Amino acid sequence: MKKILYFVQLPPPIHGVSTINQYVFESKIINEDLEKHFLEIKFSNHISELKQFNIAKIFSFIWLYIKILYTLIRVKPEYVYFSLMPIGKGFYRDFLFVILIKLFRCKLIYHLHNSGIADNSKNKYWKFFYTITFNNSNVIMLSNNLLNSEFKNLKLKNTHFFVVNNGVESIEYIERNKSNDELNILFLSNLFPEKGLFILLNVFKNLHQTNSKIRLNIVGDNYLNEKEKVNNYVHENSLESVVSYHENIYGKDKATFFETADIFAFPSLLECFPLVLLEAMQYKLPIVCFDVGGVSEIVENEKNGFVQPLGNESAFQAKLELLISDVQLRIKLGNAARKTFDSKFTKNIFEREMRKVFVSIGLE
């Protein structure tokens, strides 16, 4: 029985990376006939702590480095599954773990959930570190678009690439009778600046001037002072009666927002393969989003939603306005979205595809 060490983040905080890590680690399908071990990467407990430096994180890093050294000596895993951060300061932190793991001759499995390698690797120093990191390794990408773009500037040796689309748990969705008096637009994401919420707020403000029945629900945990900025914008534009912000929403409460929504608006400017789009699809919601990362491999333009040029606010507004005015189009795109989800993006499909990858690299 082969040994694998999962060196990953798990919830909390809840976000795409920690959720997928949990799926992989807990899956009986993926880990069939494997002796699995676990070492958690934990530098933050809340969304507001992500991407933020503090002294406590230095001590956490030192302690984690000691723990992984001890684990590598004691367990002697043949494989290490690592959700590497490939950009920013987090990469240099993780690079030190990579060097240690490679010293023990473990076979690395990287599951990449962030983009930016293509831009960084134009710099010779980044390219040097990336070459050391990704040579002689297995790399799981979330989409073909990301695979084709992210590594185009690197010449790697003995690197095996795989593409596995994300998936989410299927739900038994019973459609509710939605209100004819108002139309609910849903934005669901943690409030990172790159999620494009203020693009949506500008669009909503413009649309509300000619359509008083639309409502906007913003659902997601606060990050730094983003909640204050949102509240100020809503107040300055007199939108308090039609725009609502909700935080700390999970489980059944989150499901309620999906069930009562008519349109899912996702103006994010930086993404890889967002789970929230998959969730929206299974609730039969038509989606308006930007073409970024692997999004166009989830939402097929004019078939199960609308994918607009990155950052084009007027195009985003036009498609949102079209969906607001055409109930039959909303139903058509929503039904197509659910069919796409069932055929491509369930958790079971994800687990089976991950199992194929594990088998192909010798984990069986």
| Amino acid 122: pLDDT | 96
| Amino acid 48: pLDDT | 58
Q: What is the pLDDT of residues 63-119, one digit of tens each?
A: 999 999 999 999 999 999 999 999 999 999 999 999 999 999 999 999 999 999 999
CA distance 170 to 354: 17
* Low-confidence spans in the chain with pLDDT less than 70: 45-53, 173-174, 176-180
Exposed, middle or buried, 235 (CB in 10 Å: 0-12/13-18/19+)? exposed
Angstrom CA distances, 48 to 22, 45, 51, 54, 112, stand at 21, 9, 8, 12, 22
CA distance 25 to 5: 10
| Amino acid 42: pLDDT | 87
CA distance 154 to 134: 9
Q: What is the pLDDT of residues 248-284, one digit of tens each?
A: 999 999 999 999 999 999 999 999 999 999 999 999 9
What CATH number is given for 2-167+346-360 in this structure?
3.40.50.2000
| Amino acid 319: pLDDT | 99
What class is the 183-344 domain?
alpha beta
Q: What is the pTM of this model?
A: 0.93
Q: Are 49 and 307 in contact (CB under 8 A)?
A: no
Q: Are 329 and 323 in contact (CB under 8 A)?
A: yes
Q: Specify the 3-state DSSP secondary structure of 104.
A: coil
| Amino acid 265: pLDDT | 99
State the span(s) of the chain assigned CATH 3.40.50.2000.
2-167+346-360, 183-344
